[in-house]
């Protein structure tokens, strides 16, 4: 076929613990990642010229080779030059629904969709592990975005262990449209302030055991204990982002007062989410926080937790 449409869901972090630094400048993480229904739509179309083109109506999204979706197509083209020559170029159209630079893996999930779409369009027949390897080359969150659902993510974030689905729950997300937090800044600041709390050898047996169990949150998920899951939401990066971004701290406090199951910042922020039992509760909390903070550039979204990664439609 000459065109494919894919759904690319966002993710939130139910848990993010930084357990060590790495020689490559990255950090050893123990995370629990969760897909949500809020998703971009990616359309791929074969074009006559031997080129990769990215189009997106959202002015915040780069349309050049710095776009991760472009880099995903380039990675496939470089790895399979004969297929690129045979099938020609591709136009990537991104319909953006996930807020940009938000800590919700919007760019990573678009890149994951391009990998899945080009695998089909160029008839590569890649296995899941092969797709996951390519995904890890693009970014730490891209492998999870491919697989989706609920998963423990360790290493840089690319080693995944699936967990039972939590897709009966909802989230309210809130983000200031003009606010962005640099992810490298957040990790570097954390390293300089809290590096002395790292497990000394993050590749040790102790660290491995820690990763596999990753504490009470995994138990709460296995027991389907929603109240506990809400209480155990955790993100080390809040320790550096909240003191430096008073607007995010204010949001976080407003959600805390709202009676949700729990609230947390996602990834390196600045999106804050509240976990809710039902859509009705999510709408109630949205209205309450909207009344508490009147800021014209504050955006809200209600989304259901999802068991899906990239889907072809
Ligand atoms: O992998 P990705 O390009 O998405 O990571 C963005 C940035 O986040 C990295 O440049 C790095 O500063 C930080 N990071 C990290 N350790 C990780 C994942 C990301 O330090 N495990």
| Co-location of 117 and 185 in the same domain | no
pLDDT attached to residue 204: 80
Q: How many separate domains does the chain show? A: 2
| Co-location of 151 and 176 in the same domain | no
* Ligand 1 pocket, residue 129 CB under 6 Å: no
**20 assigned binding-site residue:** no
Residue 244 belongs to some domain of the structure: yes
* Ligand 1 pocket, residue 139 CB under 6 Å: yes
Which of 164, 186, 210 corresponds to the end of one domain? 164
| Co-location of 96 and 141 in the same domain | yes
Looking at the predicted structure, is the pLDDT value of residue 142 above 90?
A: yes
| Co-location of 116 and 10 in the same domain | yes
Pick 193 or 206 by higher pLDDT: 193
pLDDT attached to residue 198: 87
Look over the chain and give the mean of its residue pLDDT values, rounded to a whole number.
Answer: 95
Q: For residue 185, how far is its CA from the centre of ligand 1 (angstroms)?
A: 10
Looking at the predicted structure, is the pLDDT value of residue 98 above 90?
A: yes
pLDDT attached to residue 214: 67
pLDDT attached to residue 235: 97
Looking at the predicted structure, is the pLDDT value of residue 135 above 80?
A: yes
CATH of residue 110's domain is 3.30.230.10
Lowest mean pLDDT, pick from 71-80, 197-206, 258-267 = 197-206
With a pLDDT cut of 90, the percent of the chain lying above it is 90
Q: For residue 187, how far is its CA from the centre of ligand 1 (angstroms)?
A: 8
* Ligand 1 pocket, residue 156 CB under 6 Å: yes
Spatial neighbors of 198 by CB under 8 A, at least 6 apart, are: 18, 19, 20, 21
Contacts 24+ apart (CB under 8 A), 156-162: 156/22, 156/26, 156/27, 156/28, 156/29, 157/29, 157/31, 157/33, 158/132, 160/132, 161/212
Ligand 1 atom nearest 27 alpha carbon: 16
Q: For residue 140, how far is its CA from the centre of ligand 1 (angstroms)?
A: 6
* Ligand 1 pocket, residue 29 CB under 6 Å: yes
| Co-location of 109 and 155 in the same domain | yes
Helix (H, G, I), strand (E, B) or coil at 122: coil
pLDDT attached to residue 201: 78
pLDDT attached to residue 136: 98
CATH of residue 280's domain is 3.30.70.890
- Rounded mean pLDDT of 187-195? 96
11 is catalytic: yes
What distance in Å separates the CA atoms of residue 263 and residue 253, rounded to the nearest whole number? 9
| Co-location of 261 and 202 in the same domain | yes
Each residue of 25-43: pLDDT tens digit? 999 999 999 999 999 999 9
Q: Which two tokens stand for residue 204?
A: 């040790």
* Ligand 1 pocket, residue 281 CB under 6 Å: no
Range(s) of the domain holding residue 160: 3-164
- Rounded mean pLDDT of 97-106? 97
Residue 313 belongs to some domain of the structure: no
Catalytic hit among 40, 110, 141, 236: 141
pLDDT attached to residue 206: 76
141 is catalytic: yes
Which of 149, 164, 179 corresponds to the end of one domain? 164
Residue 73 belongs to some domain of the structure: yes
Q: How buried is 46 (Cβ within 10 angstroms: 0-12 exposed, 13-18 middle, 19+ buried)?
A: middle
| Co-location of 130 and 230 in the same domain | no
What is the value of ipTM here, to two decimals? 0.97
- Rounded mean pLDDT of 291-309? 96
């Amino acid at each position: 076929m000459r065109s494919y449409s894919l759904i690319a869901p966002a993710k939130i972090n139910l848990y993010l613990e930084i357990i060590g630094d790495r020689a490559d400048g990255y950090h050893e993480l123990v995370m629990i990642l969760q897909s949500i229904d809020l998703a971009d739509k990616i359309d791929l179309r074969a074009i006559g010229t031997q080129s990769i083109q990215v189009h997106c109506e959202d002015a915040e999204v780069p349309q050049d080779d710095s776009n991760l979706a472009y880099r995903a197509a380039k990675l496939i083209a470089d790895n399979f030059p004969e297929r690129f020559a045979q099938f020609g170029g591709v136009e990537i159209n991104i319909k953006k629904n996930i807020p940009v630079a938000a800590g919700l893996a919007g760019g990573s999930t678009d890149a994951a969709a391009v990998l899945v779409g080009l695998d089909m369009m160029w008839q590569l027949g890649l296995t899941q592990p092969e797709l996951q390897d390519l995904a890890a080359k693009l970014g730490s969150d891209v492998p999870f975005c491919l697989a989706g659902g609920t998963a423990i993510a360790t290493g840089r974030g690319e080693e995944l262990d699936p967990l039972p689905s939590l897709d009966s729950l909802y989230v309210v997300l809130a983000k200031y449209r003009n606010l962005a937090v640099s992810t490298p800044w957040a990790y570097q600041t954390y390293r300089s302030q809290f590096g002395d709390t790292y497990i000394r050898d993050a590749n040790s047996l102790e660290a491995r055991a820690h990763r596999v169990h990753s504490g009470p949150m995994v138990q709460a998920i296995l027991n389907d204990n929603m109240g506990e899951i809400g209480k155990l939401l955790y993100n080390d990066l809040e320790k550096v982002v909240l003191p430096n971004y008073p607007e995010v701290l204010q949001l976080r406090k407003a959600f805390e007062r709202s009676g949700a199951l729990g609230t947390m910042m996602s990834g390196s922020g600045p999106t804050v989410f509240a976990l809710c039992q039902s859509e009705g509760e999510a709408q109630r909390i949205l209205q309450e926080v909207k009344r508490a903070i009147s800021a014209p550039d504050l955006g809200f979204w209600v989304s259901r937790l999802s068991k899906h990664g990239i889907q072809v439609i």
